[in-house]
Amino acid sequence: MWIDSHCHLDAAEFDVDRDAVIARARAAGVSQIVLPAVEADNFDTVRLLAVRQGFAYALGIHPLYVMRAAEGDLDRLAEALATHHIDPRLVAVGEIGLDFFVPGLDAATQQHFYVEQLKLAQRFGLPVILHVRRSADQLLAGLRRVGFSHGGIAHAFNGSEQQARTFLDLGFKLGFGGTLTFERSLQIRRLAATLPADALVLETDAPDIPPQWLYKTAELRAAGATSRNEPGELPRIAQSLAGLRGWTLEQTAAGTTANALDALQRLRGLIGVSGTG
């Protein structure tokens, strides 16, 4: 059994064949998928998709969307968490965090939305799914500032070993996906190979972060080629992790599944639970 701990199945890229994408994922053995929201306007979309398909979801405002968010969107998040906090499919607050790679994003605005969402997660007793891009130290500082105590997942982790171990000390798991399939991703592959076995969860971030076999160069993309990632690619991504760790594929599935269940504990109650239509 595989768990894709981070997949944006609600994205427009899947509008033409979402059911077929889900069918392929299930055929590949991906039995549970976590669907993080990115802004207040898609809270209901991800929730209803998760209910319909038997998946899990998270509610939050992504750092790339905070510049078009209003202060009232934090109130909408608080209201949604208050309404749905006992929903067993609501497994986290996310995707939240900080992004200091994309130009044009105001750092103060990002920090405000990040800290306020951490406070909401703390209030409702939920873990968080963190967006980490050139921001690990600032994310860690926010966790300490809030006194956050419910752990979660540092999604698409790309920091240093010291930063990784600090997240682990705070009760987090680290998300690894398509990037580790590239031989040139030396730091990420080294971390995936050497961090404690109980640190790692698998994710696709589909439709983003395609693995090496789906990657298209900038020239090909400019010519119209696409490289959409899918949750059904997770077992093949896992083969790369297994090769780095010297694990069998069965060991990789069992270990990363157990880690995802530790990070997002409500997932335990969803294993084997189907959608309600």
CA gap 254, 67 in Å, rounded: 40
How many residues are recorded in the chain?
A: 277
Annotated binding site: 6, 8, 95, 131, 155, 205
Virtual CA dihedral for 143, 149, 154, 159, nearest 10 degrees? Answer: 50
Residue whose C-alpha is closest to residue 56's, from 38, 76, 29, 36: 36
Residue whose C-alpha is closest to residue 25's, from 205, 177, 234: 234
Q: Which amino acid is at 165?
A: R
Report which secondary-structure segment, H or E, holds 246.
none
Residue whose C-alpha is closest to residue 173's, from 138, 140, 198, 150: 198
Annotated binding site for a divalent metal cation: 6, 8, 95, 131, 155, 205
Sorted by sequence, the CB contacts under 8 Å of residue 175 that are 6+ apart come out as 5, 6, 153, 154, 155, 156, 157, 201, 202, 203
Give the three-state DSSP class for 48: helix
Take residue 74 and report the two structure tokens written for it.
């934090």
Take residue 40 and report the two structure tokens written for it.
């207040």
Take residue 224 and report the two structure tokens written for it.
């119209």
Other Cβ atoms within 10 Å of 22 Cβ, number: 22
- Estimate to the nearest angstrom the gap between the alpha carbon of 221 and the chain centroid: 25
